[in-house]
Amino acid sequence: MRVSLLVAALAFGPVAPSPGAALVQEAGGPFADAVARRLYEVAAAARTRLDRELASYTAVVRQRVGVGLRMPLKDRTLYRSESAHRVFWSRDGDVLVQVLALREQTPVGLEKGKVHLGVFDDNFDPGNDQLMFGMVPPDDEVYEENAEDFWIAHPLDPAYRDDYRFAVGDTLVLSLPDGRRIRAVELRVVPTVADVHRIIGSLWIEPESGALVRAAYRLSDTFDAFRDLADLREEEDDDLEHVPGMFKPWKAEIGMIAVDYALWESGIWLPRSLHAEGVATAGILKAPAAIELTYDFESVVTDEDMRADAEEADPVTDRRYGTRAEALQALTHETVGDVPYRLSTSVTHRGPRATEKRVRYLVPADPSYLRSSPELPPPIWDAAPGFTSEAEVHDLFDGLADLPAPPPQHVPRTFRWGLQRPDLVRYNRVEGLSMGARGQVRPDTRFGPLSVTATARVGVADVEPSLRLDVTHETLRRAVTGSLYNELAAVDEDARPFGPVNSMTALLFGRDDGDYYRRSGASLEWTPPAADRRSYRVRAYAEYDRAVESNTDFTLAHLTASDWAFRDNLLAREGWELGGEVILSPWWGTDPRSPQGGLALGVRGAGGDWSYARASLVGRAALPLPEDLRLGLEIGGGTSWGDPPPQRLWLVGGPATLRGYDPRTQMGRAFGRARAELARLFPFGAVSVFSDAAGAGGRGPMRLEDALLSAGVGLSLVDGLIRMDAAWGLRAPRGFRLELYLDGIL
C-alpha cells in the first residue's frame, strides 16, 4: 500500500537565498556553498545507482495529451487523447501492458476502430533517469554531447557539473501517517549561459538517500530546429528550401516539465505524476501542447518481500493453465471483468545499462470498448484527481519564473528578408508590392536579455519607407516592448489587412479590405510572453498621424481593364495623438465538441490635436448541439466620446464585422452588430448557414430597421481556422460577396 505524502509545511527559512543568489558560487566551483555541494553529491550518486530492490509492480497509468493551434480569436484542438493502461512490470522478465481505455480526437472527429499502441510508449523503470520520469536510461545517448542529434547536459552528470550553478532553496517537509517526517531540500539549477542543451529549474532532493522527490525545469533557451539539428541545417538550403517562408522558422518553447514522486512503505520512491507543456511554432503557426501522466500503483514487490515470502511456512501455490487463452481470460477477469482480450504484437524497448525488454500488449477484442471504458480519464483541460492541479502548475511555474535568467552564450543575430518570413512580403493599394527586411540581436544587459529588432520595408508604389525599431524584455510572465516607428498602419487591425489572405485577394482579385494611414511615433507595450495566448495588451503611445492615398490599381483580375480602380482609401486626419489603450481578449474552451466562449473588451483614450475616448465589448459563444450540430453566436457594440478623427471611428463591412457588404459600408461614432450561425459537422469540416446584422453611425439609439442585414452559407475547415462564405446583402446597398478569411468562430 502506498504511503500518502501530505505537505505539512513549506518552510521559507534562512536556507532560502534570494533568487539572484543562485548564480553565486564558491571560489573555483559551481556551488553556492558547502550545503549545495553536499546535496548535489548525494543526488548525483543516487542517479547512477541502479535500484535493484524493486522486483515488480502493477500500476494503472493514465495519460492525457492535448495539441492545439493558437490564433488571435481562439485556440483550436488539433489532437487530443486520453488513455489508461495497466502495466505489469518485472525486473527480470517481459513487460505486459493491458490497454484499459483509449480515446483520440483530431479535427475530423473521434478516431474509431484501430487501437494505436504507440499512444503509450514507455513505462517507469526504476533503473532509468528519475528526472525523465523513469522513461529514459541514464546512459542514453540523449545525455551525450552530439553534433548531429539533440542532446541534454544533465545537471547531475559530473561531466556537465561545471556548466551549471547550484544553490540551496526552500525546504519541503513531508509528514507520513506513521509520524515520520521527511525533508526534501530544493536544489536550484541555473546554467552558466543560456543554451538549448542545458536546463534551468529546481530539484527537490531527499538529503539522506539523494532520491528525487520533485522537479520542475525547462530548457534555458528556445529550441530552433534549423539551428540545433545538424541534419536540418544541411537540408534547409536543399530539400527544405521550397518550404514557404510563412512556415519558418521551426521553434519550440518548453514552458515547464514537472515530475512528482511518492514514497512506499518499503522506502522506494515511485512516480506519482508528470506534467509537461510547451509551444511549437512553424512560422505563422503556433501550436501549444501538453501531456500529463499519473501512476496508481496496485501492487509493489521488493526483494525483501520475496525473501519474507520464502521464509513463510506455507509456500505460494502456483496457478497453471493449459493454454495461453485460459491464462489471458483469468487475468482479464480479475482486472476488468468479462471483457474479452487478446494478445497483440510485442515491441522491444531499450532499458538501463543497454538491456532490452520485450513489451507485450493486451487489447480488447472489441476496440470500441476503449472509448467508453470507466477507466477513461477526462480531457486534459478538465481537473481530475491524481493529475497535477492548476494551482500546483501555477506554483511551480512561479518558482521557475523567479529563477535568475542565465546570460546568453553569445549574442544571437538573425537577418531575414523577403519571402524568408511571412510578414515581410505583402500587397495593398497604398504600397503595392511591399518587400521588407528584418535584423535581430539579443544582447545581455544589466536588465537581463533583450531582443532588439529592426524592420525596414518599401513598396513599389509608395516612395516613403516604413521603419520600425522594437526593444523587448521578455520573462516567463510578460513581455514589455518599447518601439519607434514610421509606418503604414491599419484603421481596423482586427480585419488583419496586412495578413496573407488580404494580400492575396488584393493582388489576384482587386479586393483590398483594409483602410490605411501613416503614423510616426513611439510606444510602450505590455503583453503576455510570446509563447502564451495574447489575452491582453496594454499600450501607451505618442504618434503623428497623416493620410495616405491609393497609389496603385494593379491587380491580375483587371490587368487589361484601363478604367478599373481600387476603392478609395479612408482620409485620415493629420495631427498629434498621445494616448493609451487596454485590450482584454480571454477565451475559454478549445474542444469543438464542448461549449466555448470569449470576450473582447477594448478601451482607448487620447489627447493632442484632438481628444476622444472610445470603448467596445464583443461576446462570442460556440455551443454543441445534438446530431453533430453547432451554434455560433456573436454580439457586440461600441461607442465614442469627444472628437475622434476618422481613423478612430467604428467601421462596418467585411468578414470581420458584416459579411456580404464591402468594408466601410457604414462608419460612425458608435456601432452595434450580431451574428448567428448553425453548422453541421462532417469528417472534412463543417457546412453552415448564417445571418449577420450590423450598423454604425451616431451615438443615438440604434434601431433594427436601420441595420444592414446579410445571410449566406459557409464552409469551415479545422474548427473555423479556414473559412469560405458566400454572403448576400439583404438591404441596400444589396450585393454578393465571396468571403475568404482565417480564424472564424465556427
- Measured CA to CA, the distance from residue 510 to residue 559 in angstroms comes to 10
Going by C-alpha positions, the residue among 219, 120, 199 that lies closest to residue 157 is 199
Q: Which of 230-234, 248-252, 341-345, 551-555 has the lowest mean pLDDT?
A: 230-234
Tell me which of 481 and 336 has the higher pLDDT: 481
Task: Report the pLDDT value the prediction gives residue 109, as an integer from 0 to 100.
Answer: 64
pTM of the model: 0.84
The answer to whether residue 16 scores a pLDDT higher than 60 is no
Task: Report the pLDDT value the prediction gives residue 139, as an integer from 0 to 100.
Answer: 67
The answer to whether residue 27 scores a pLDDT higher than 60 is no
Q: Could you report the per-residue pLDDT of 370-409, keeping only the tens digit for each?
A: 888 999 999 988 888 889 888 898 898 889 988 988 888 7
Tell me which of 140 and 430 has the higher pLDDT: 430
Q: Is the dihedral of CA 693, 640, 598, 473 positive or negative?
A: positive
The answer to whether residue 619 scores a pLDDT higher than 70 is yes
* Numbered ranges of CATH 2.40.160.50 in the chain: 622-746
- Say which amino acid occupies 354: A
Q: Could you report the per-residue pLDDT of 425-470, keeping only the tens digit for each?
A: 999 999 999 999 999 998 878 777 889 999 999 999 998 999 999 9
Q: What is the DSSP string of 405-471?
A: PPPBSS--EEEEEGGGSGGGEEEETTTEEEEEEEEEE--EETTEE-EEEEEEEEETTEEEEEEEEEE
Task: Report the pLDDT value the prediction gives residue 532, as an integer from 0 to 100.
Answer: 86
Q: Which of 2-11, 304-313, 561-570 has the lowest mean pLDDT?
A: 2-11
Residue with cell 491580375: 556
Q: State mean pLDDT over 262-288.
A: 85
- Measured CA to CA, the distance from residue 153 to residue 559 in angstroms comes to 59
Domain 622-746 sits in CATH at 2.40.160.50
- Measured CA to CA, the distance from residue 478 to residue 537 in angstroms comes to 10
What is the SS3 assignment for 533? coil
Alpha carbon distance, N-terminus to C-terminus of the chain: 49
Which three cell numbers mark 549? 492615398
Task: Report the pLDDT value the prediction gives residue 252, as an integer from 0 to 100.
Answer: 86
CA dist 684 → 108, 183, 687, 718 (Å): 6, 55, 10, 8
Mean pLDDT, rounded, of the chain: 84
Cβ atoms 518, 428 nearer than 8 A: no
Which three cell numbers mark 15? 536556507
The answer to whether residue 503 scores a pLDDT higher than 50 is yes
Percent of the residues in the chain that have a pLDDT greater than 90, as a whole number = 48
The answer to whether residue 556 scores a pLDDT higher than 90 is yes
Element (H, E) at 46: helix 34-47
Task: Report the pLDDT value the prediction gives residue 286, as an integer from 0 to 100.
Answer: 87
Q: State mean pLDDT over 62-86.
A: 90
Task: Report the pLDDT value the prediction gives residue 11, as an integer from 0 to 100.
Answer: 29
- Say which amino acid occupies 416: R
Q: What is the DSSP letter of 610?
A: S
What is the SS3 assignment for 649? coil
Task: Report the pLDDT value the prediction gives residue 60, as an integer from 0 to 100.
Answer: 93
Percent of the residues in the chain that have a pLDDT greater than 70, as a whole number = 84
Q: Is the dihedral of CA 641, 642, 645, 646 positive or negative?
A: positive
Q: Is the dihedral of CA 218, 220, 221, 225 positive or negative?
A: negative
Q: Could you report the per-residue pLDDT of 288-331, keeping only the tens digit for each?
A: 999 999 999 988 888 777 777 666 655 545 555 455 555 555 56
